[in-house]
Structure 1
Amino acid sequence: MHNIFGLLRRSGLRDWGICSFEQVRGSLLDCRAKSRIPENARSVLMTVFPYFTPCGVHNISRYAIPPDYHTAAGEYLDRACGLLREAFPEQEFVWFADNSPIPEVRAAALAGLGCVGLNGLLITPEYGSWVFLGEIVTSLDLPVSGDGIKPCIRCGKCRESCPGGAISADGIETDRCLSHISQKKRDLSPWECDLIRKGGSAWGCDICQEVCPMNRAAAETYLPEFRTGLFPIIRPGQSESLENRAFHWRGPKVIERNLHLLNNDS
């Protein structure tokens, strides 16, 4: 176990955990990437990419302030797979990040990387919930590093503060989640427009994370990719030129619409 973690940390990522593939097999997500899972999958190596940096005033979600994390995550995970293939040439290693069939929060919690908040996010001891998740599915049979899924402290602050009332004991009602609504392409209802104005964010929403007491002492990221090139304030007309941001995949019209709503232009 220690040898595996030492090898993985040579990729540049400090935090890793392991769950068995059997623990997540029954809850795999139905996506195109599912076909890439090794037929003889045995273990899932989970990791976190912390992204928190103090940035003062911002009008987009913190995860979208640094350059698009998909590029950096892919480079780190690809490097980790290369190290593993050198050490275990007979085994298969396939990485995923975001576009993944693995239920990432569940897998990370099972791997002992953190607990699960009422808002459905993984909360890590060091970085709070300000993390991206990634994983490597392998045919290598490894011992599990966690001891079951643990809940957060259940203080209820995220539920009380959610502007759309999306959080309940039963889970997240995505149609009321500001982050989800801010990314919609279709025309928004008057209620949804008012919610964006109320939330004050042109992309995403961090309110449930900002009020979480388990995030108060969150450490800043150690990853250089998320410490430079920060763009906390987006103004009308800028979004189309920011091609290396996490919101670029949605096209400029969505975030421009939201910016106009925040400026009370419509």
Structure 2
Amino acid sequence: MRQLTSRVKEEAHRLGFDLVGVMRIEPLAEDEKRYLDWLRAGMSADMAYLQRRPTLRARPDELVPGARSIISLAVNYYSGEFDEVGPGQGRIARYAWGRDYHEVIPPRLRALVARIEEWIGRKVQARCFVDAVPLLERAVARRAGLGRIGFNSCLITDRFGSWVFLAEILLDVDLMPDEEDSRTCLRALDCINDCPTGAITQHYVVDARRCISYLTIENRGIVERALRPLIGDWLFGCDVCQDVCPHNRRLPKTTWKEFHPQSGVGKTLALDDVLSIESDEAFQHRFRHTALRRAKRRGLLRNAAIVAANQRYEPAIPLLEQLMETDPDPIIRGHAVWALGELAGRRARARIERALEDEHPFVREEARASLER
């Protein structure tokens, strides 16, 4: 068992994985309790997929019956710092600068399984996952010794900080488990103190309802007015709690070229370009093979309207006016109304008054609120 485990780890590193550990298949009882408490507190917002069969996430033996071990793997995706962000540019969270990791990582997981089959001389019953399965991945990674959990709830590794993608292979092969990482986070509270929206409510607890990553990616509906200014220039995701983390200083850049900005959308996007995307088909074509597809056209254009207002980026006014009047999506129209009110004020009054006749109540309410300011 020890020799096979060593070969598995060597092969994983050869395939490019930066960290690899093993956990024996067993329930994650303490993590399950914390997860259920978090759900009961309503902190998962409207992410219904997190609420379906919640106990399954902490019970890998039920997720993959017959599995004996979990191989937990991490890939460093850090590819540098932001350049200065000028007016009319929206920030993209680092994990989305390059290609979509959901597409890049799985082939190497399957290659690792194939090698294990060669070594043991039989078909392996295995399932490979990359952030798309009901499993408490960070808890598994901690149990497999990859790192500790930070106050911001991210997994923090010694060599790569929290800038890592996680992946797992659940398989019917006995491997030697690693010692779990039981360390606590450093006593620095930078992530809690610097979160723009106060989403980190206590150590290790993030309220998704206030998290900018949730608001700009998973949330496809209305962003509360009080939260819109706090989003700042984040067009897709947010890295603040990781940027200020003392664990994330002086780290090596990823060796996976797919995750460098040159391979994807880059570090920022021009707001004018985003606000000019006219259809879902154009959006899908523009952002194919990138993580930005997750937000959909509705979410990204809504975000661009918010960022334009926060930056006082007046060149966006003509595009916002067009969206307010002609876009088929009421979420985009309503946020365009708000952004116009913030940017143009009285100059846009006549146009915003026309939005009072919009067929959708959200757009009408945004128009009323804007005119009453």
Same fold by TM (over 0.5)?
yes
**45-54 vs 161-170, which deviates more?**
161-170
Aligned-partner Cα distance in 1 for 2:128–2:101: 15
The separation in 1 between residues aligned to 2:62 and 2:99, in whole angstroms, is: 27
Q: Looking at CA atoms only, which structure, 1 or 2, has the larger radius of gyration?
A: 2
* Corresponding residue for residue 126 of structure 1: 159
How many angstroms apart in 2 are the aligned matches of 1:124 and 1:51?
13
2:47 is aligned with 1:47: no
SS at match of 2:186: coil
* Pick aligned residue for 2:6 from 2, 12, 25: 2
Which letter maps to 2:26?
E
1:148-183 CA-partner distances (Å, limit 9, x unpaired):
432221311100001111111261111111111112
Instruction: Find the counterpart in structure 2 of residue 255 from structure 1.
Output: 300
State the distance in 1 between where 2:235 and 2:269 align.
Answer: 8
- Contact 1:37–1:94 (CA<8 Å) still a contact in 2? no
For normalisation by structure 1, the TM-score amounts to: 0.90
Distance 1:126 1:190, change over 3 A: same
* Whole-angstrom distance in 2 between the partners of 1:138 and 1:149: 25
Structure 1 stretches lacking a partner, 5+ long: none
Q: Quote the Cα distance in structure 2 between the aligned partners of 1:204 and 1:14.
A: 24
User: Which whole-Å CA distance do the structure 1 matches of 2:109 and 2:241 have between them?
Assistant: 29
1:12 aligns to 2:24 (yes or no) = no
- How far residue 259 of structure 1 moved from its aligned partner, in angstroms, is 1.3
**Could you give the per-residue CA deviations for residues 36-94 of structure 1, whole angstroms, max 9, x where no partner exists?**
94311111100011111115336111111111111111121121121122223253221
Q: Which residue of 2 aligns with 1:234?
A: 269
Q: What is the correspondence of 1:196-215 to structure 2 with a 5 Å cutoff?
A: 196-197=231-232, 200-215=233-248
**2:189 pairs with 1:156:** yes
Counting matched residue pairs gives: 264
Q: 2:140 aligns with which of 103, 107, 119?
A: 107
> What are the residue-to-residue correspondences of 1:12-91 with 2, within 5 Å?
12-24=16-28, 27=32, 30=53, 37-57=63-83, 59-88=91-120, 89-91=122-124
Larger RCO (alpha carbons 8 Å, 6+ apart): 1
Q: CA deviation at 1:195?
A: 1.9
1:194 aligns with 2:239: no
- With over 3 angstroms needed to count, the CA separation of the structure-2 counterparts of 1:36 and 1:72, relative to structure 1, is farther
Q: Which moved more, 1:165-174 or 1:27-36?
A: 27-36
Mean Cα deviation higher: 25-34 or 133-142: 25-34
Residue 143 of structure 1 corresponds to which residue in structure 2? 176
* Greater mean deviation of Cα atoms: 27-36 or 188-197: 27-36
- Taking the TM superposition and a 5 Å limit, the aligned residue runs for 1:216-235 are 216-227=249-260, 228-230=262-264, 231-235=266-270
Identity of aligned residues (%): 27
Offset, 1:113:
0.8
1:130 CA displacement: 0.5
The worse-fitting range, judged by mean Cα deviation, of 148-157 and 115-124 is: 148-157
Give 2:214's aligned residue: 180
Unaligned runs of 5+ in 2: 36-49, 86-90, 278-282, 310-316, 318-338, 340-373
SS of residue in 2 equivalent to 1:190: coil
TM norm structure 2 = 0.66
Equivalent AA in structure 1 for residue 174 of structure 2: D
RMSD over aligned Cα atoms: 2.4
**Partner SS, residue 143 of structure 1:** coil
Kindly state the Cα deviation for residue 186 of structure 1 after the two structures are TM-superposed. Answer: 0.8
